[in-house]
C-alpha cells in the first residue's frame, strides 16, 4: 500500500523482545572494525605484450609478478576474525587496462552457490566477489564491479556513500570458472572506461568476497558491519598506477534500430519505423567526459515497477535510462535530505522525455561530467521533440561541487526549462555535505544542509531548505532531519509532491551482533516524523517501533507497531473513486515481515500489515517467491494485495508481477516481465533478448504487449517490436 499512512523503509526484521534478551552467545564489540592506518595495495606494471588472456586461467606468466593482497578479515558472521577461506587477489596493469586475478579457494567446493549468470542480475543470491574503485579518492563516489563463479557480472556507480546505481553499464571483460578447490575470476577494466584525475597515482580501493553457503562476508580494508559496501569512506588505497593511456579518449557508439508498432484497436494501423542514432563520449581530460547523444534509444529500459496510489500525493519513480545514469553522481544534491524523502528534489532526470506522463522523444542532448581543477562538474542540455500540445523544449541542468575539509563538499545546482513548455522555470540552489569518519577516533558523523529557490513565470518565486544530521554507528545510531518546502516551490525539472510544509524526522537504532550463536544480529529501530503546514499546524505524524532478528543462515524476521495521525485538509479519492473526507484520523497498525536467505533454491519474501486505515479497516499483504534452481534460470512471481474498507466504500487492490531470466551464456540473456493490476485493469509484458557478442558490441531485441483485462476478457491494445544492433568504436 503506497500510503501516506503507511511508513515504508528498507526491511528491518524483528522478533520478540524477550527472545532477543535471552539469545545465547557473546555480544560483539560494536565500534571500530576499520584497519588503521588504512591498508595499501600496489598494482604492478606489465608491458602490453605481457597482457594476460581473460580466460579465468591464472597461469599467464605475468601474474607471477603481481603481489597478493594481505589476508582478508570477516565482516560477518565473526566480525574481525580471519576469513575461513583463502582468497588470493593479484592486481596489475599495462598501458590500456587494469587487471585483477582472483583465486577464491573453498574447502567445500561442492557447496559453492553458483547463481545468476545474467549481466546486472541478482548476483547476491550466490557466491560473489566485488571490486570497488574510487580513482579520484573522493571517499564518496566510486565504480563497483561484481562477479560470480557462473561468470555473471554487474557494474554500477556508488553515489555519495549511499546509492547503488546498477543501471549504469560500461565496457569491460571478465571470465569465471569453478575449479576443484574453489573458483577463479579474471578481470580486465579498460582505463578508457573510468574517469580519473591526470597523474593521480593513488586510487581508493576495496575488495569484498561473499561465501554464501557460510553466510560469510570478508573485506580487505574495513571489516566493520556498520559500513555498507556502498560506503567507500574507509576504502584502502591502490598505488602504482601511472603513465596509462586512454587513447584519443573518444568512444563512438552507433546503432540502428528498427521498430514495428501495431494497434489492435485499429488493425490497419501498423507503423514500421527505423532510425540511426548514437552516442559519443570524449575524455576532455582523463577525469572529465563530454557526451553527445542523437536519437537515443531506451528500448532496453525495464518496465517500471507498477504502483497504485492510495495517498493524496504523487509517487516517485526512479530513473532507469542509461544516458541519464552515466555519471549520475555528478548531479546528486543535498545529501541524505533526499535519500528516503524525495520531496523537493531540484533535479530529477525522469522528467526529461515525459510530458504529463506521456513519452516524448529526445532528439539530441549533450553532457559534461567529471572533475576538473578540483571541481566536480555535471552539466547537461537536452532538446526534446515537439508534441501536438507543446513545441520542442531545451532543458538544462548544471551542478558544481568542491571538496573541502578532506571528506566534505560544497556545491551549487542550476536547472532551466519546463518539459511541458507551459512556463519559464529555473531553480538555483546550494548545499554543504559534511562527513567525518574519525569522530572520537572510531565513529562516523554526517551533516548535510541545502537551500534552493525556484523561479516560475506562472507561480512566482519560492524556497525550499533543510538539514540532516546522522550518526550511523553501532550499537547506537541515529538521525535527525528537517525540511521546509514553500507553497510555490516548483522545480519543473525536479520532483515536489508536497508543498507548503515543514517536515521533521527523528530516528534511533540499536543493533547487537552475536558470536557463536544461532542468532547473528538483533536490531531495534524507532522513528518519529511529522509534517506541519507553514503555520506549524500538524498535518501528519508517524511513530514507528520495529525489532528485527537475523540468524546465521541469513534468514530474518521483523515485527513492528506503527501509529499514524492524519489531518486531511481536503477530501481526496482512493482508487475506484472511494472518497476520504476532510478531517482528523488516527490509527495504529501491526506489521510483520519474513525473508529467507536468497541463497536457497526456493526463497520467500513476505509481509503483512494490519488492520486499520483512516477511519476504516486496511490490510496489506505482499509476497515474492524467487526460484533459482541454477545459474541458467530464474523465476520470481510476486503479489501485493491491499484491502481497504472505509465508511464511504471499499477498494481491493491486486498487483501481480512475474519476472524471469534465462541465461544462455554470461553475455546472452532472455529476460521477461509481466505485470497486471485490477485498478487500471491493464496488463503489460516486455521480453528482452540481449547478446553482447564482443565487448562494446551487442544485438538487442525487444517485444512489448499491452492489453486491458476487463471482467476476465483480454482486449489487446498495442504490440511493439524492436531490434537494435550497435557497436562502440574506441579511438
pLDDT in tens, 563-605: 999 999 999 999 999 999 999 999 999 999 999 998 899 999 9
Mean pLDDT of 270-294: 86
Mean pLDDT, rounded, for 139-164:
87
pLDDT at 577: 92
Beta-strand relationship, 633-646 and 627-630: antiparallel
- The secondary structure of 68-101 as a DSSP string is BPPPPEEEESSTTSBPSS-EEEEEEE-SSEEEEE
pLDDT at 321: 81
- Say if residue 77's pLDDT is above 90: no
Phi-psi label, residue 32: left if phi above 0, alpha if psi -120 to 50, beta otherwise: left
Residue 35's pLDDT is 60
Q: What's the confidence (pLDDT) of residue 371?
A: 82
The average pLDDT across 96-122 equals 91
| pLDDT band, residue 393 (cuts 50/70/90) | very high
Look at residue 60 in the predicted model and tell me its pLDDT.
Answer: 94
pLDDT band at 303 (very low <50, low <70, confident <90, very high): confident
Check residue 94 and give its pLDDT: 95
- Reported as a pLDDT band with limits 50, 70 and 90, residue 516 is confident
Cell of 294: 542523437
Query: What is the average pLDDT across 320-336?
Result: 83
Task: Name the more confident of 287 and 546.
Answer: 546
* Across 308-314, average pLDDT: 90
Residue 203: asked if its preceding bond is cis (omega within 30°), the reply is no
Cα–Cα distance for residue pair 412/431, rounded to 1 Å: 6
| Least reliable range by pLDDT among 201-205, 300-304, 416-420 | 300-304
Find the mean pLDDT for residues 334-338.
Answer: 92
What is the rounded average pLDDT of the residues 75-84?
88
pLDDT of 160 over the 60 cut: yes
Instruction: Work out the pLDDT band at 206, boundaries 50, 70, 90.
Output: very high
> What is the residue-averaged pLDDT of the chain?
88
Tell me what pLDDT residue 12 has.
Answer: 32
pLDDT over 90 for what percent of the chain? Answer: 61
Distance CA 75, CA 80 (A): 6
pTM above 0.75, yes or no: yes
pLDDT in tens, 10-62: 333 333 333 333 344 444 333 345 566 789 999 999 999 999 999 999 999 99
Q: What is the mean pLDDT of residues 488-515?
A: 94
Close Cβ partners of 650 (under 8 Å, ≥ 6 residues apart): 578, 643, 644
Lowest mean pLDDT among 185-189, 316-320, 695-699: 316-320
What does the DSSP assignment read for 641-685?
EEEEEETTEEEEEEEEEEEEEEEEETTEEEEEEEEEETTTTEEEE
Cα dihedral 578/581/587/590 (nearest 10): 20
Average pLDDT over residues 269-273: 82
Amino acid at each position: 500500500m503506497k500510503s501516506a499512512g503507511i511508513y515504508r523503509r528498507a526491511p528491518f526484521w524483528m522478533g520478540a523482545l524477550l527472545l532477543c534478551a535471552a539469545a545465547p552467545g557473546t555480544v560483539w564489540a560494536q565500534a571500530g572494525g576499520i584497519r588503521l592506518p588504512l591498508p595499501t595495495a600496489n598494482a604492478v606494471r606489465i608491458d602490453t605484450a605481457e597482457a594476460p588472456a581473460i580466460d579465468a586461467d591464472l597461469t599467464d606468466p605475468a601474474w607471477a609478478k603481481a603481489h597478493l593482497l594481505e589476508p582478508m578479515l570477516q565482516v560477518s558472521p565473526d566480525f574481525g576474525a580471519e576469513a575461513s577461506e583463502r582468497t588470493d587477489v593479484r592486481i596489475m596493469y599495462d598501458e590500456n587496462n587494469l587487471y585483477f586475478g582472483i583465486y577464491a579457494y573453498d574447502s567445500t567446493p561442492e557447496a559453492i552457490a553458483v547463481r545468476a549468470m545474467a549481466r546486472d542480475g541478482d548476483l547476491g543470491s550466490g557466491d560473489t566477489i566485488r571490486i570497488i574503485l574510487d580513482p579520484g579518492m573522493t571517499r564518496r563516489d566510486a565504480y563497483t564491479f561484481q562477479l560470480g563463479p557462473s561468470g555473471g557480472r554487474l557494474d554500477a556507480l556508488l553515489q555519495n556513500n549511499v546509492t547503488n546505481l546498477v543501471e549504469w553499464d560500461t565496457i569491460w571483460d571478465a571470465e569465471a570458472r569453478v575449479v576443484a578447490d574453489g573458483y577463479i575470476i579474471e578481470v580486465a577494466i579498460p582505463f578508457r572506461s573510468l574517469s580519473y584525475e591526470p597523474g593521480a597515482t593513488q586510487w581508493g580501493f576495496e575488495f569484498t568476497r561473499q561465501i554464501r553457503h557460510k553466510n560469510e562476508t570478508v573485506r580487505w580494508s574495513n571489516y566493520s558491519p556498520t559500513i555498507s559496501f556502498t560506503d567507500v569512506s574507509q576504502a584502502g588505497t591502490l598505488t602504482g598506477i601511472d603513465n596509462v593511456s586512454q587513447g584519443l579518449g573518444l568512444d563512438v557508439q552507433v546503432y540502428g534500430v528498427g521498430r514495428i508498432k501495431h494497434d489492435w484497436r485499429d488493425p490497419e494501423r501498423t507503423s514500421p519505423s527505423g532510425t540511426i542514432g548514437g552516442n559519443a563520449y570524449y575524455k576532455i581530460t582523463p577525469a572529465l567526459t563530454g557526451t553527445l547523444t542523437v536519437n537515443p534509444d531506451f528500448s532496453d529500459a525495464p518496465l517500471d515497477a507498477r504502483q497504485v496510489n492510495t495517498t493524496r500525493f504523487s509517487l516517485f519513480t526512479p530513473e532507469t535510462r542509461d544516458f541519464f545514469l552515466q555519471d549520475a553522481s555528478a548531479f546528486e544534491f543535498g545529501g541524505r535530505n533526499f535519500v528516503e524523502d524525495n520531496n523537493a528534489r531540484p533535479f530529477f532526470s525522469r522528467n526529461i522525455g515525459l510530458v504529463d506522463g506521456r513519452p516524448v522523444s529526445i532528439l539530441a542532448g549533450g553532457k559534461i561530467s567529471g572533475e576538473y581543477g578540483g571541481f566536480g562538474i555535471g552539466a547537461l542540455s537536452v532538446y526534446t521533440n515537439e508534441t501536438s500540445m507543446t513545441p520542442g523544449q531545451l532543458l538544462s541542468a548544471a551542478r558544481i561541487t568542491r571538496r573541502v575539509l578532506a571528506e566534505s563538499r560544497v556545491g551549487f545546482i542550476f536547472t532551466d526549462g519546463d518539459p511541458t513548455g507551459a512556463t519559464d522555470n529555473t531553480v538555483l540552489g546550494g548545499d554543504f555535505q559534511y562527513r567525518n569518519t574519525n569522530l572520537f577516533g572510531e565513529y562516523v558523523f554526517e551533516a548535510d544542509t541545502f537551500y534552493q529557490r525556484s523561479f516560475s513565470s506562472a507561480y512566482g518565486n519560492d524556497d525550499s531548505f533543510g538539514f540532516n544530521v546522522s550518526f550511523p554507528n553501532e550499537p547506537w545510531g541515529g538521525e535527525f532531519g528537517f525540511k521546509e518546502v514553500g507553497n510555490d516551490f516548483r522545480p519543473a525539472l525536479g520532483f515536489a509532491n508536497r508543498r507548503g510544509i515543514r517536515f521533521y524526522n527523528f530516528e534511533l537504532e540499536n543493533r547487537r551482533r552475536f558470536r557463536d550463536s544461532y542468532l547473528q544480529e538483533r536490531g531495534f529501530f524507532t522513528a518519529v516524523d511529522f509534517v506541519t503546514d507553514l503555520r506549524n499546524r500538524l498535518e501528519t505524524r508517524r511513530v514507528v517501533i520495529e525489532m528485527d532478528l537475523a540468524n546465521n543462515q541469513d534468514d530474518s524476521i521483523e515485527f513492528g507497531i506503527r501509529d499514524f495521525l492524519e489531518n486531511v485538509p481536503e477530501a481526496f479519492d482512493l482508487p475506484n473513486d472511494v472518497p476520504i473526507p476532510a478531517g482528523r484520523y488516527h490509527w495504529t497498525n501491526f506489521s510483520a515481515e519474513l525473508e529467507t536467505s536468497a541463497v536457497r533454491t526456493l526463497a520467500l519474501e513476505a509481509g503483512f500489515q494490519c488492520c486499520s486505515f483512516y477511519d476504516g479497516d486496511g490490510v496489506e499483504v505482499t509476497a515474492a517467491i524467487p526460484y533459482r534452481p541454477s545459474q541458467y534460470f530464474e523465476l520470481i512471481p510476486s503479489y501485493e494485495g491491499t484491502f481497504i474498507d472505509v465508511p464511504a466504500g471499499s477498494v481491493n487492490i491486486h498487483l501481480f508481477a512475474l519476472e524471469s531470466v534465462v541465461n544462455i551464456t554470461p553475455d546472452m540473456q532472455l529476460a521477461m516481465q509481466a505485470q497486471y493490476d485490477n485498478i487500471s485493469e491493464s496488463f503489460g509484458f516486455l521480453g528482452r533478448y540481449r547478446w553482447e557478442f564482443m565487448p562494446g558490441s551487442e544485438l538487442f531485441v525487444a517485444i512489448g504487449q499491452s492489453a486491458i483485462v476487463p471482467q476476465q476478457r483480454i482486449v489487446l491494445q498495442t504490440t511493439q517490436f524492436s531490434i537494435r544492433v550497435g557497436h562502440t568504436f574506441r579511438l
